């Protein structure tokens, strides 16, 4: 049985009310049929496969965590504790929205690489350590705090790629429709690809991504120039010994193929191109690729194009 618990923490130094992080943590559970369980709905973790690896998944801008519930359940079914979080703050100067958390001051030519660009990661790691060490927590003693995988979608994928290098606990990163091409508004030259460290990386992308194509003005690249995700693989992925990097092109998938159900009242879905394959089939493929990557298994090339190094 898959259950989830809620937790809250704050981002140090951020101004309230935009310093709050609300976590939803998915995990495999074992029902005990106790009176307390029936009254609260809280069940202890299934200890069959402990310690359990952890995925911290960063949402796309203005994409609610409900759109990634399906993936969190799939990962938890594979004994991977999965954290989704909600953070409302500035997404751009003077624009408030749902964000994975981006410190734009850390994403400039004179500051990038000196520290995390996402202020949410450390508080989430601290919260997980607290829950793991609390005897009253359903997750008590069950978490592998030294095997954390950062993942994300769109801007959340960029956050995952940028920040894995700064946390020893993070062993790998994955991103769907995420890349590290830097905005010229932040002072970077057109087409600049930011480095992402030397850990294992999985880049997933669809060949029907209309959002990335419509966003090229941010990078001042010409129409028809190489995909920023492909360029991130070519220029930013340099895995160390024992690590691997993958660039996976999924035919028929678009920018929001990972998000289901998609809330069409927010975000930039209207820029996307229509998919050309069944959405459920694409999601199943995405989940299978992520699970194989986390389990350090060979990725299945069926219906996808894979580059590896």
pLDDT value at residue 303 = 87
Residue by residue, what is the 3-state secondary structure of the chain?
CEEEEEEEEECCCCCCCCCEEEEEEEEEECCCCCHHHHHHCCCCECCCCCCEEEEEEECCCCCCHHHHHHHHHHHHHCCCEEEEEECEEEEECCEEEECCCCCHHHCCCCCCCCCCCCCCHHHHHHHHHHHHHCCCCCCCCCEEEEEEEEEEECHHHHHHHHHHHHCCCEEEEEEECCCCECCHHHCCCCCCECCCCCCEEEEEEECCCHHHHHCHHHCCCCCCCCCHHHHHHHHHCCCCCCCCEEEEEECCCCCCCCCCCCCCCCCCHHHCCCCCCCHHHHHHHHHHHHHHHHCCCCCCCCCCEEEEC
Class for the domain spanning 2-308? alpha beta
- Per-residue confidence at 45, pLDDT binned at 50, 70, 90? very high
Q: How confident is the prediction for the chain on average, in pLDDT?
A: 95
Residue 222 confidence (pLDDT) above 80? no
Instruction: Judge if pTM exceeds 0.85.
Output: yes
Residue 124 is predicted with a pLDDT of 98
Phi-psi region of 303 (alpha: psi -120 to 50; beta: other; left: phi over 0): left
What confidence tens digit (pLDDT) does each residue in 80-122 have? 999 999 999 988 878 899 999 999 899 999 999 999 999 999 9
Could you tell me the CA-to-CA distances from 187 to 8, 182, 220 in Å, in that order?
Answer: 35, 9, 12
Over the stretch 178-204, which tens digit does the pLDDT of each residue have?
999 999 999 999 999 999 999 999 999
């Amino acid at each position: 049985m898959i259950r989830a618990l809620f937790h809250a923490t704050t981002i140090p130094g951020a101004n309230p009310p935009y310093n709050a992080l609300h976590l939803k943590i998915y995990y495999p559970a074992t029902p005990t049929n106790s009176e307390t369980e029936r009254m609260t709905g809280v069940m202890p973790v299934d200890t069959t496969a402990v310690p359990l690896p952890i995925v911290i998944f960063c949402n796309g801008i203005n994409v609610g965590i409900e759109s990634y519930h399906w993936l969190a359940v799939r990962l938890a079914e594979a004994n991977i504790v999965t954290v989704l979080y909600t953070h409302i703050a500035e997404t751009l100067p003077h624009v408030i929205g749902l964000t994975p958390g981006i410190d734009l001051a850390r994403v400039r030519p004179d500051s990038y690489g000196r520290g995390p660009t996402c202020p949410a990661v450390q508080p989430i790691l601290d919260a997980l350590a607290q829950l793991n060490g609390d005897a009253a927590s359903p997750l008590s003693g069950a978490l592998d705090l030294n095997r954390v995988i950062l993942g994300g979608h769109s801007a959340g994928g960029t956050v995952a790629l940028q920040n894995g290098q700064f946390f020893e606990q993070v062993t790998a990163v994955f991103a769907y429709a995420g890349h590290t091409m830097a905005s010229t508004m932040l002072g970077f030259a057109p087409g600049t690809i930011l480095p992402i460290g030397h850990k294992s990386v999985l880049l997933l992308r669809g060949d029907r991504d209309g959002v990335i194509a419509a966003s090229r003005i941010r990078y001042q690249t010409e129409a028809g120039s190489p995909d920023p995700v492909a360029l991130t693989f070519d220029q930013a992925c340099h895995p160390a010994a024992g690590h691997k990097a993958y660039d996976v092109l999924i035919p028929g998938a678009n920018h929001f193929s990972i998000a289901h159900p998609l809330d069409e009242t927010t975000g930039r879905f209207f820029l996307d191109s229509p998919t050309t394959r069944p959405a459920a089939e694409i999601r199943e493929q995405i989940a299978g690729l992520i699970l194989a990557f986390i389990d350090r298994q060979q990725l299945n090339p069926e219906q996808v194009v894979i580059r590896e190094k």
